[in-house]
Amino acid sequence: MILVTGGAGYIGSHLVMALLEQGENVIVFDSLEVGHIETIETLKKYGNLKFVQGNLKNLDDIRGAFLVNKIDTVVHFAAYSQVAESVKNPQKYYYNNVYGTLNLLNAMLEFGVKKIVFSSTAATYGEPEYTPIDENHPQHPINPYGKTKLMIEHIMDDYDTAYGLKSVRLRYFNVAGADSKARIGEWHEPETHLIPNILKATSDKVFKMFGEDYDTKDGTCVRDYINVEDLAQAHIKAIDYLKQGGETNFFNLGTNDGSSVKEVFAACEKVKGESIPLEVCPRREGDPATLVADNKKAKDVLSWAPEKDLEHSIKTAYDWEKELKSRISE
Ligand code: UFG
């Protein structure tokens, strides 16, 4: 069985859907602080899914999941992931992300589980020294969120050396889109990400574009938007890699291509078929001008390649926005 921590959240739920659709038995462990029980109820319709509500900060919660299930691989998404919040409240991030992961790893050792796929991030690289960013780029994170993810990568290296625990760390760039059938999607409260914020904008709550004076093609920040279903497929490749005896490794997950905020905004207007109210605001603190992945290593080693373009991500995000709105108003 595969244990997915954070499987009720945005990215985790898309992996769970993909695993269930290929007939895997899955256990989701989630505190439901950020994830949603409605997502679990939807996922349960598509295969053999067990749900354990628990918090990684409580060792006994996670031990309980290992005690009663035969788990061979773990995929670990559960974490707080808001950069700005991590700067204001680092205690929350170090305690949850680092201590919570230590409990998970220690439970894995206790129960002899030696394979883990971990959600890492481009934020571990910090301010880019060159672009596109490959895996050899120095890792100097500039906020507590990125630091927690890098600390966990280091802990995983030491657990491999000492205990033979094999990890694959997937460093995501900007994740976008939703399930192609609008069954699940991005559902954050509050929402901070670009695409859902553009799509949600109304004349009462206009979209705020943070800065247009960056040193980029049109003055707005450039990011590498990777589709969430493509990302789920990369996790499946990473699980297979570990099952085939692969060594500890790490990969960037992105498209090798950057889009500016203005380009994403224009693509959203095209998908919606209407103009979207916009206000240009000062820069948001801590935003690097350009973040684009070099994904060659994932292509070569995992035989993974992104298939869905930005327009598909925006279209599915929009279909999901409409679905979510209708569910909430029911
Ligand atoms: N932006 C706006 N208005 C908004 C929201 C975002 O202009 O309402 C801009 C941002 O300033 C930035 C770009 O859109 O230039 C993308 O911002 P996001 O918040 O969508 O994404 P980030 O690039 O800040 O961060 C994402 C993840 C992080 C992760 C990081 C790694 O949210 O968890 O990618 O690259 F660390």
- Ligand 1 centre and the CA of 222: distance in Å? 10
Please give the pLDDT value at position 208: 98
2-177+226-254 has CATH 3.40.50.720 classification: yes
How far from 12 is each of 6, 43, 101, 161, 327, CA to CA, in Å? Answer: 6, 11, 16, 28, 21
Please give the pLDDT value at position 11: 98
Coil, strand or helix at 310: helix
CA-nearest residue for atom 30, ligand 1, is 123
Cα separation of the two ends of the chain:
35
Please give the pLDDT value at position 285: 87
Report the atom number in ligand 1 closest to the C-alpha of 174: 34
Please give the pLDDT value at position 55: 98
Please give the pLDDT value at position 329: 77
Instruction: Decide if 63 contacts 110 (C-beta within 8 A).
Output: yes
Tell me which DSSP letter residue 224 carries. Answer: -
Query: Angle 310-328/261-272 helices, nearest 10 degrees?
Result: 60
Instruction: Decide if 173 contacts 153 (C-beta within 8 A).
Output: no
Query: Angle 10-21/37-44 helices, nearest 10 degrees?
Result: 10
Ligand 1 contacts CB of residue 253 (under 6 A): no
Place of tokens 């625990």: 165
Ligand 1 contacts CB of residue 192 (under 6 A): yes
CA-nearest residue for atom 11, ligand 1, is 210
CA-nearest residue for atom 5, ligand 1, is 194
Instruction: Using alpha carbons, select from 293, 273, 167 the residue that is nearest to residue 230.
Output: 293
Instruction: Decide if 14 contacts 38 (C-beta within 8 A).
Output: no
Catalytic site residue from 10, 80, 145, 225 = 145
Report the atom number in ligand 1 closest to the C-alpha of 284: 11
Coil, strand or helix at 151: helix
Please confirm, yes or no, whether 145 is among the known catalytic residues: yes
Please give the pLDDT value at position 260: 98
Ligand 1 contacts CB of residue 143 (under 6 A): no
What CA–CA distance (Å, rounded) separates 324 from 184?
A: 9
Question: Is the pTM of the predicted complex or chain greater than 0.95?
Answer: yes
Ligand 1 contacts CB of residue 312 (under 6 A): no
Q: Which residues of the chain are modeled with pLDDT < 70? A: none
Instruction: Decide if 258 contacts 310 (C-beta within 8 A).
Output: no
Instruction: Using alpha carbons, select from 285, 280, 294 the residue that is nearest to residue 224.
Output: 294
CA-nearest residue for atom 33, ligand 1, is 81
CA-nearest residue for atom 13, ligand 1, is 194
Ligand 1 contacts CB of residue 197 (under 6 A): yes
Q: What are phi and psi of 169, to 5 degrees?
A: -100, 120
